[in-house]
Amino acid sequence: MAKTPKIIIIGAGFGGVKMVKSLHKKPVEVLLIDRNNYHNFQPLMYQVATGGLEPGNIGYPVRRIFRKYKNVSFRMAEVLSIDIQKNKISTSIGEMDYDYLVMASGSENNFFNFERVKHKLLTLKSLPDALQIRNWIFQNLERALAENRKESLEEIMNIAIVGGGPAGIELAGALAEMKKYVIPKEFPELELSRMSLNLYQSGPKLLAAMSEEASEKTLEYLKEMGVNVFLNTRVSDYKNNAIVLEDGSHFITNTVIWTAGVKGSPIAGFPEEVILRGNRLSVNKFNQVIGIENVFAIGDVAAHSSIDALNGLPMLAPVAQQQGKHLAKNILRHLKNEPMQPFQYRNKGAMATIGRKKAVVDLPNFNFQGGFAWFVWMFVHVFSLVGFRDKTVTLIDWVVSYFSYDQPLGMILRSGEFKPGPAKKEIKEIEDV
Amino acid sequence: MAKTPKIIIIGAGFGGVKMVKSLHKKPVEVLLIDRNNYHNFQPLMYQVATGGLEPGNIGYPVRRIFRKYKNVSFRMAEVLSIDIQKNKISTSIGEMDYDYLVMASGSENNFFNFERVKHKLLTLKSLPDALQIRNWIFQNLERALAENRKESLEEIMNIAIVGGGPAGIELAGALAEMKKYVIPKEFPELELSRMSLNLYQSGPKLLAAMSEEASEKTLEYLKEMGVNVFLNTRVSDYKNNAIVLEDGSHFITNTVIWTAGVKGSPIAGFPEEVILRGNRLSVNKFNQVIGIENVFAIGDVAAHSSIDALNGLPMLAPVAQQQGKHLAKNILRHLKNEPMQPFQYRNKGAMATIGRKKAVVDLPNFNFQGGFAWFVWMFVHVFSLVGFRDKTVTLIDWVVSYFSYDQPLGMILRSGEFKPGPAKKEIKEIEDV
């Protein structure tokens, strides 16, 4: 009997998970690798950051998803490099051979001209990032009441968000609601007039990838909610605890949330010519990395070349999912020596929520905004979560918030690292891994 | 108009929170201080450690509890010392004056002869501790599958629990269920025979504070569930990644969970003679610290002197709560120059759960164990949680686990500290505070 072909998929995001599901019970052995042992639902991460949801609501252990998949195994590991000649990858837990390799490793923050000060920025690309934002903001509010505080109130109460894409505007909206509904109840001693929320967008419109109506309505909502939106405004530096704009003006704050751009997360070992601008891997219409027969890329890390009609696909969950599903079929075809089919993207639309009864929805032929859009947004998001528990608990949290005008969660939960003890051991462990 | 008397309460645990509640709308100004911004429900912490509950289920922001209490304020701060002469405390966020001070600062781990190796032990006194245990155990299981692992399987799969009190036995039970129901499903590749759960108790019985029946039944349950229970066994050291017993025998493991003892958490500035063995503050029958008119202590940090009938009260939530409620009344009496009333403890019983349909309940005149005890335990615990959200979500998690034989949560969620960036800033920040 011939050896079962082995497919290694790197990354348990939307693309990787969808692809594994599509390979269930197929005559292949699948190994899924991720540096975390969970899949997370990125679109709701901003709610973890603002105390609306717990990490457990939107994260789901990978092993649990694939428990019943006999031909699938999972390893938690950091992938270090690829050896294309030997069909082998090197990881933090050892070397692994593949017959087919799929890069579904997603994207990471691109700090552009802020690279030098990135350690002072908060980001929103992972659950720990989200918890970090939550802890930081609540801690600032607590500190604002200290007798011996050295910072000005503005420095610790102001918040700057850089980037007017979905993450930026959703976060801005959630923070504006927190300022309006939650802080006055929980910190009655604080002068809220000393707190400004500024959102900086380099281009002329918010949600650049969405319709004109969505973009305008979002701007209107945010202004209505008290967010200072700066369009066509480039941030040039962060120094002396202040955001500096290109025109030289300053905004003092120790809370800068960076949502201004991402780049692909490939690994070492790819030939230079397949790595495009933004660190993405150049793929053909079959999502095959250019020039490498058995290596593919899907989702944020994949970029269709400029001669391809697929060039410029947005870095969104549906793209990754559709590519994952399609690639699963193509690899099965390839195994049977059948010709692969070109990928085609079916645009199902996009949506974003700004606040209570304020959302924008773009469907392929129809756009709408407002309260109904908000219900549609909630419905779609709850049902997209993995598993009964995540769906139910999220629904409860939303219903409770809706009626109470509250965020259910506000604990500043520092990790074990703040105490002496096993935490340090763990840090070392992770660094070793 | 005379100045409103100011009561500072240090610690938002069971005693502190109950006392503040009892002072609602009374003619006093209350300032509650805690190093965390949340109250947590300690009795269920072991379920956070084993992936049964999220921190958000059992923790509740302090400000939210007291939102509507006009005479109460809260500060998140570390209390550093007391100046008894000047009626003043010094904290990480400045100095504060009081008319009455209440120490409700609880207890911390007592490592006894393990002080030297305490950085290698896991503990269960806080929510970050609990998350640390969860991360550590799940990470060990993932590491057990690594190709390039240096440790033996036993070293990373074995677990030692030191201490046979409620925390130790509840944790042992939960881990035994995880081993039986969850690990085989999620890590089918692991040889479970290489995993031992050992529980060490220095004395002759488990749950020493409970009835003989409870204690025996607990031992029976744990053995039935596959836990190796060692009674009358003192651990003498931890070296070369192994627990060493007094007879010289070894148990190899990198996971040692220490639940073997606590000591009071007083602050600097108390006269030496009021600090008793185990770092607890010596109080009279009014919970007044001996010799200090306007300073009181309740809960774990308070110890009634040996001539007092209250000597030897257990360090349990009901004691702290009853003392908090009683002291609130006494301080109000003291303000009106009325004589204070001595505290009397009403023992309402105790309970512990070992596993599915396995619990032990001691009532003052009646003990029972088994499935009904387990339902009583769940009922009492769900209804003791603070707030609608915590009650509902915990109930859902328990119902789901009951039917699925599963833990709902299994994410290894490392904090932001593992990445470069704001995390480090936060550590520094916290250290500054």
Which residue in chain B has the smallest CA separation from A33?
Answer: B142
> Residue B427's CB: how many other CB atoms inside 10 A?
17
> What DSSP element (H or E) covers A8?
strand A6-10
8 Å CB contact between B30 and B56:
no
Tens of pLDDT, residues B209-236: 999 999 999 999 999 999 999 999 999 9
Rounded to a whole number of angstroms, the distance from the CA of A308 to the nearest CA of chain B is 37
Write out pLDDT tens, residues B20-29. 999 999 999 9
Q: Is B220 exposed, middle or buried (0-12, 13-18, 19+ CB in 10 A)?
A: middle
Give contacts of B54 with chain A, Cβ < 8 Å: 54-56
pLDDT above 70: residue A44: yes
pLDDT exceeds 60 at position B41: yes
Q: What is the mean pLDDT of chain B?
A: 91
What is residue A1's predicted lDDT score, i.e. its pLDDT?
A: 57
Confidence band of B237 (pLDDT split at 50, 70, 90): very high
Cα–Cα nearest to A422, from B254, B108, B170: B254
Q: What are B5's two structure tokens?
A: 């008397």
Question: Would you say B217 and B206 are in contact if contact means Cβ atoms under 8 Å apart?
Answer: no
The pLDDT value given to residue B427:
31
Q: Give the mean model confidence (pLDDT) for residues A191-202.
A: 96
B-chain residues near A67 (CB < 8 A): 185-186
- Domains plus CATH for chain B? 6-35+77-109+262-335 (3.50.50.60), 112-260 (3.50.50.60)
Tell me: pLDDT of B161 over 90: yes
For residue B135, what are the contacts with CB-CB under 8 A and spacing of at least 6?
A426, B412, B413, B414
pLDDT of residue A416: 36
pLDDT at residue A408, as a whole number: 73
**Is A71 in the B-facing interface, judged by CB distances under 8 Å?**
no
| Nearest residue of B to residue A425, measured between CA atoms | B120
Write out residues 112-131 of B within 8 Å (CB-CB) of A. Answer: 118-123, 126-129, 131
Name the residue among A37, A189, A415 with its Cβ closest to that of B131: A415
Query: Is the CB of residue B58 less than 8 Å away from at least one CB of chain A?
Result: no
CA distance A163 to A161: 6
Q: Which of A106-120, A397-411, B166-180 is the least confident region?
A: A397-411
pLDDT (average), residues A297-303: 97
Q: Which of residues 266-325 of A touch B (CB under 8 A)?
A: none
Does residue A166 surpass a pLDDT of 60? yes
User: Which has the closest alpha carbon to B380: B337, B349, B423, B340?
Assistant: B349
What average pLDDT score do residues B63-79 get?
A: 95
- The pLDDT-based confidence of B269 (bands split at 50, 70, 90) is very high
Mean pLDDT of A139-166: 95
Cβ pairs A/B, distance under 8 A = 222
Nearest CA to B108 out of B259, B243, B210 is that of B259
Share of chain A above pLDDT 70, in %: 95
Cβ-defined contact of A421 to B63 (cutoff 8 Å)? no
pLDDT of residue B1: 57
Taking CA A201 as the corner, what is the angle to CA A196 and CA A207, rounded to the nearest 5 degrees?
110
pLDDT reported for residue B108: 94
Residue A319 parent element (H or E): helix A317-335
Q: Is A385 on the interface with B (CB under 8 A)?
A: no
Would you call A127 and B413 a contact, using CB atoms and an 8 Å cutoff? yes
End-to-end CA distance of chain A: 36
* Average pLDDT of the segment spanning B369-375: 95
B421 has a pLDDT exceeding 50: no
What pLDDT sits at residue A140?
94
Decide if B93 and A149 are in contact by the 8 Å CB cutoff. Answer: yes
Q: Does B417 touch chain A (CB under 8 A)?
A: yes
Residue of B48, B64, B238, B407 best to disrupt the A interface, most CBs of A under 10 A: B64
Say if residue A255's pLDDT is above 50: yes
Q: Is A397 on the interface with B (CB under 8 A)?
A: yes
Instruction: Please report, for chain A, how many H helices and E strands are present, in that order.
Output: 13, 25
**Contact (CB<8Å) B411/A37:** yes
Mean pLDDT of the A38-45 span: 94
pLDDT value for B414: 67
Look at residue A158 in the predicted model and tell me its pLDDT. Answer: 98
Please state, rounded to an integer, the average pLDDT across all residues of chain A. Answer: 91
Interface test with B, best of A109, A159, A411 (most B CBs within 10 A): A411
Please give the average per-residue pLDDT across B52-69, as a whole number. 92
Grade residue A414 by pLDDT with cuts at 50, 70 and 90.
Answer: low
Encode pLDDT of B81-121 as tens digits. 999 999 999 999 999 999 999 999 999 999 999 999 999 99
What confidence score (pLDDT) does residue A401 get?
Answer: 86
- Across the interface, do A37 and B138 touch by the CB < 8 Å criterion? yes
- The DSSP letter of residue B4 is P
What ipTM score was computed for the predicted complex, to two decimals? 0.90
> Between chains, do B412 and A36 touch, taking CB under 8 Å as contact?
yes
CB proximity A2 to B under 8 Å: no
d(CA B150, CA B164): 32
Which of A286-295, A406-415, B302-311 shows the lowest mean pLDDT across its residues? A406-415
* CA B83 from centre of chain: 28
Q: Is B432 a residue whose pLDDT tops 50?
A: no
Q: Is B334's pLDDT higher than 80?
A: yes
- Which of A153-162, B164-173, B260-269 is the least confident region? B260-269
Q: What is the pLDDT of residue B408?
A: 73
